Structures are given as C-alpha cells and as structure tokens.
Amino acid sequence: METKTYLNPKEPVIQKKITRKRSGVLQNFLKHKTLFLLGLPGILCFLIFKYAPMYGIIIAFQDYNPFAGISGSEWVGLEHFTNLFKDPDFFLILKNALVISLLNIVIFPVPIILALLLNELRSQIYKKIVQTIVYLPHFMSWVIIVSLTYLFFSSEIGLVNKAIEALGSGPLQFLFDSSYFYPLIVGQELWRSVGWGSIIYMAAIAGVDVALYDAAKIDGAGKLKQIWHVTVPAIVPTMIILFILQLGSTLDVNFEQLYLMQNPSNTHLSEVFETFVFKIGINGAEYSYSTAIGIFKSVVGLVLVLGTNYLANKKGHEGIW
C-alpha cells in the first residue's frame, strides 16, 4: 500500500480545510442556484460591458493608432501620464473637478433630510404626491434641465429677469457672469437628484424596528428626539456606505451638464476632465492621452474609497466591506 508523505506535517490539515471550503461554496451554490441563475444575466452584462473593455486601458501606455490596432501600436510607457502632469491646464482642470465634487458632497445631507421629512408625513395621498414631484426631475435629461435654466435665467427672455425688471431693476447676467456659475450647477444637481437620492434612505428608515420608537415614547422622547436618537443612528450605516461610494467618484462630474452650461465666460470654471477628454479624445483624436486621464481619475477614486473605508472600519462603523 502506497503511503502519502508530506514535507509539511500541517499540509493534510490545510488540504482538508481547502476541500471543506470548496464543498461549502458548491453547497451554497446548489442551495441558492435559483438566485444565482436569476442574477446570471446581470453578472454577464457586468463582465461583458465593464470588465472586458478594461483591456483597452493598454492604449494609455501606447502611441495608439486606430489603423494599427492595439497589437501594432508603439509602446511609450508612462509618457502620456508625464505629459498629463506637465500640461499647463492640468491643475486648473483638477481644481475645477475638486470644487464641483466638493459642492456635490456639501449637498449630500439634503436627501437625508428630505427622507426624514417624508417619513413623518401621515397622509399617504399627500406623501405620494410629494414623492412624485421630487422624483420626477431625475427622469429628465440634462438637455431639458439646461434648457429650463436658460428659459428662467436668460437675460433677454428669462422669467427671473422679467420679474426683476418688473420690480424696477436691470436684468442680471446669470448665464454669462462666472460668479453665478457654481450656484446654477449646484441648484440644477440639487433639483434633479435630491428626490431620487432620498429613496434609499426611505427604504432604510422603513426597516427601523417600531419597538424602538415605542421605547423612546415611554422614555418621554418627542418627535425630534425620536428622529435624532432612533432614526438617524439606524440609517448611519447606509449614510456611510453612500458617502464612501460618492467619494469614489470625486473626479467624476456630469459631462452633459457642464458641457451644455459651458460658454467662453465660464470656461475657467467649467473645464473639467470630462469636457477636456471630449475635446482632445473625440475632436483631437488623442486616444492614448485621454485614456491616461481616465486611469488617473480611476486611481484617485480607488485611493479615496480604500482610505475612507479604512477610516470607517477603524472608527467602528461598517464600510463597503
């Protein structure tokens, strides 16, 4: 009879653990095979349209020629990344992206406040009407939202300026005065996203145990104290996860919004990586350089997500993993 010899005396134990783990994964798959099959189209879609195209990041390290293809293009290493940091417009674009992202983070609590207010409504009919009104802008394209902005704030036909003129004052150059640029884009983002962003918080609030509110009432807590001491702590994990995910897209701003709002008077504020990539990548055909910019943004987002998640776990909160 052949005897199996192990150089490491712990090897049989390790192999048993690996075998047990594999069998556990297989059992879990068989137990929930229906759920896995239901999720299969989404998984395949994610792999095909998210992971497979990542092969294209190779062109950031090449002098890519569409006619030669990836395999036939010249390899240039980190040249495009070096050119990016040497670009005189780089720090201006980086500053604009950070400022706009910071403004979007500042309005982060607004959907939370809206969800808390909606949760306190007792009339279901009124609640549904309000929800419909605040959710509706999310389904509008940025073309419509920017068109409405021009309709309201144009110096010639804008309804706001018409009202200002009716009060005896001259029209204000909302669209061509750079001092109004940030308030306009923040207002647009707030109007479009606040209702939709509150849905997740509404779902989190719905999962709060009613017994906690009953206990708070027995202790003499009013509505505000119930919200502060029961509702808010219950949705803190959701808030942290969404905040971490938002930080991951710090340098990602809305291309459609800024491109449509951009004009010669505010280019020094509205020029961000998305608009810059469009101009040099699509119009200028600098595919490798624009891909390098995309990788830089992704790396910054990854570092912020990992760092914020680490801090959240260190403080005793549950992060995204």
Query: Can you read off the two tokens belonging to residue 113?
Result: 């406040």
Q: What one-character DSSP code corresponds to residue 62?
A: E
Answer whether residue 240 is part of any domain: yes
Looking at residue 47, what DSSP letter applies?
I
Of 77, 111, 141, which marks where a domain is finished? 77
- Is the distance from CB of 173 to CB of 154 less than 8 angstroms? no
Which of 90, 78, 98, 92 is CA-nearest to residue 292?
A: 78
3-state secondary structure of 68: coil
What tens digit of pLDDT does each residue of 86-97 get?
A: 988 899 999 999
Give the sign of the dihedral formed by CA 37, CA 39, CA 41, CA 44: negative
Q: Domain span at residue 40?
A: 1-77
Summarize pLDDT for 133-188 with one digit per residue, the tens: 999 999 999 999 999 999 999 888 888 988 888 888 878 889 888 999 999 999 99
Amino acid in the structure at residue 120: E
CATH assignment of the domain containing 174: 1.10.3720.10
pTM for the full predicted model: 0.79
Contact status, residue 115 vs residue 202, Cβ threshold 8 Å: yes
Does residue 85 sit in the same domain as residue 64?
A: no
- Report whether 220 contacts 64 (CB < 8 A): no
User: Do the domain assignments include residue 274?
Assistant: yes
**Other C-beta atoms within 10 Å of 296: how many?**
19
How many structural domains does the chain have?
2
pLDDT along the chain (321 residues), means of 10: 50 52 71 86 89 88 87 90 90 92 89 91 88 91 93 87 85 89 93 90 89 89 89 90 84 89 91 89 81 90 86 75 66
